[in-house]
Amino acid sequence: MRKSGILLPISSLPSNYGIGTFGKAAYDFVDFLSKSSQGFWQILPLGPTSYGDSPYQSFSSFAGNPYFIDLDILISEGLLSKEECNIYEWGSDLGYVDYEKMYQSKFAVLKKAFNNNRYVIDNEEYQVFVENNSFWLQDYALFMSIKGTYKGKEFTSWEDDLKKRSVESLSKYINKFGEEIEFYKFIQYKFFQQWKNLKKYANDKGIKIIGDIPIYVAFDSAETWSHPELFELDQALYPVSVAGCPPDGFSKTGQLWGNPLYNWKYHKETGYRWWIKRMKFSFDIYDVVRIDHFRGLDEYYSIPYGSKTAELGEWKKGPGYDFFKIISDNIGKQLIILEDLGFLTDSVRKLVKRTKCPGMKILQFAFDSREESDYLPHNYDKNCIVYTGTHDNDTILGWWRKLSNKDKNIAKKYLDIRSTKHIHWDIIRCCMSSVAMLSIIPMQDFLGLDSSARMNIPSTVGGNWIWRMKENEISDELAEKICELTKTYFRL
């Protein structure tokens, strides 16, 4: 395979309702990908975001983000009226997501759609959806419903009988708040209905979807609450240790993610049953899956719960190849991308090679005046995916403006350029011309945007995940330019 694609989160699409959705702009973007001769659309995780708005900290490993449900589609189906949508505030800046307004408005309008059309939950298609997703849907709907009655507080602060899921307390709650639980099932039904229609449209045009799954589960999530045996938790259901990364180039004190660590002994004893369900589910809704923070499956960084930084953690052995062998035996031959970035040990490199899955190369890491980098294209093996940068990197323009003169000179020599007026296109060309099986370029770099369009700065909270593409920023002219570059380097 020799192909190319574009990285653009669903949240970054244009829309009239504060955030990108599965509506017209998503279909227009698929058309743009097709005109550009791109074979892949990579997105960020689709799960419902929790505190901090990060798609890598979700209330569920299976549920979809209600924010992405398109209201215009609901209007066309007669579930809502335009007037009912327009009474809410969605944010004043079309270039950014206002998550506070999204939280206040989206659930309110979706609740109207549910109350207006209770008959939807009686149809056969809805009942089939509930049955097929019973292994996660009931627990998620129950979790979110209870969380609502506790005004969003994490589950460890709930009354003990609900926190520890006593049969009697759950039965009482279900009887009292059955309608609220049904609402959360309803919005998941509409989410996956809209998503699968969009994915089919993309697939019919020859475009495959690359999904992204976080390796870890959020502490305050339906999975941690309903299946505590999957994680390293104490008797009070608090983590013993949490996930993160040691100090590195992104952060001097490391990255303290706070996710509970897996009880790998339990997972192995059960034949990785939960992970098999998760991977099968992922390949049902995506064509390709990227596993975030892959190295945590070889060795994972364990930080004592309650630590203020990630400096006091230690590396522990993960499940290794045994995990991949069992997953592969159960899901068949599928394309999995391994996020193998950061400091890599020999054991991580050996595991990547043994799985035969492609790893990642980032061009922003390539031009280092201190030493020759593995990220320079002449060092690539074909079995890799090359990016100008990821959601955790600055845009090319933002990165270039902050790069040291020594590193800039290395890049100029390597790329054989004198003028850096169009440096983003020079870096893109370098990606496309490499031997990597797949080249993925963030949409911000095709648009030549600066740091104001950056998606995320690791180890920071607030101001992340908010960039949105404006409606007039993509054009047939840009599609033609991308198409020509794709043809030049035989990535059709």
Set 139, 292, 298, 340: catalytic member: 292
DSSP annotation of 367 reads: -
pLDDT recorded at residue 117: 82
In our burial notation (b when 16+ CB lie closer than 10 A, e otherwise), range 120-151 reads beeeeebeebbeebeebbbbbbbbbbbbeeee
Q: Output the DSSP codes for 51-104.
A: TT--TTSBS-SS---GGGS-HHHHHHTTSS-HHHHHTS---S-TTB--HHHHHH
Cβ atoms of 65 and 48 within 8 Å: the answer is yes
Across-strand partners of 7?
A: 42, 442
CA distance 32 to 47: 25
Q: Which strand (E) or helix (H) includes residue 328? A: helix 321-331
pLDDT recorded at residue 121: 77
Q: Where are the domains of the chain?
A: 3-488
Q: Which of left, alpha, beta for 351 (phi over 0: left; psi -120 to 50: alpha)?
A: alpha
Q: Which strand (E) or helix (H) includes residue 3? A: strand 3-7
pLDDT recorded at residue 119: 75
CA distance 39 to 224: 36
Q: Output the DSSP codes for 387-418.
A: ES--TTSPPHHHHHHHS-HHHHHHHHHHHT-S
Give the up-direction half-sphere exposure of residue 365: CA atoms within 13 A in the CB hemisphere.
Answer: 18
Coil/strand/helix, residue 366: coil
Set 392, 407, 450, 473: catalytic member: 392
Set 339, 340, 426, 445: catalytic member: 339
Coil/strand/helix, residue 258: strand
Structure tokens at 32: 């743009």
Coil/strand/helix, residue 445: helix
CA dihedral for 100, 106, 112, 118, sign (positive or negative): negative
pLDDT recorded at residue 460: 85
Q: Which strand (E) or helix (H) includes residue 326? A: helix 321-331
pLDDT recorded at residue 250: 66
Q: Which of left, alpha, beta for 357 (phi over 0: left; psi -120 to 50: alpha)?
A: beta
Is 484 an annotated catalytic residue?
no
Superfamily of domain 3-488: Glycosidases (3.20.20.80)
Cβ atoms of 8 and 473 within 8 Å: the answer is no
CA distance 210 to 264: 27
Q: What percent of the chain shows pLDDT beyond 70?
A: 100
CA distance 214 to 118: 34
Q: If we measure between CA atoms, which residue out of 87, 75, 59 comes closest to residue 21?
A: 75
CA distance 66 to 61: 14
- Rg of the chain (C-alpha set): 23
Is 392 an annotated catalytic residue?
yes
CA distance 286 to 401: 36
Is 339 an annotated catalytic residue?
yes
DSSP annotation of 310 reads: S
Cβ atoms of 422 and 481 within 8 Å: the answer is no
In this prediction, the residues of the chain whose per-residue pLDDT falls under 50 are none
CA distance 229 to 330: 22
pLDDT recorded at residue 116: 87
DSSP annotation of 1 reads: -
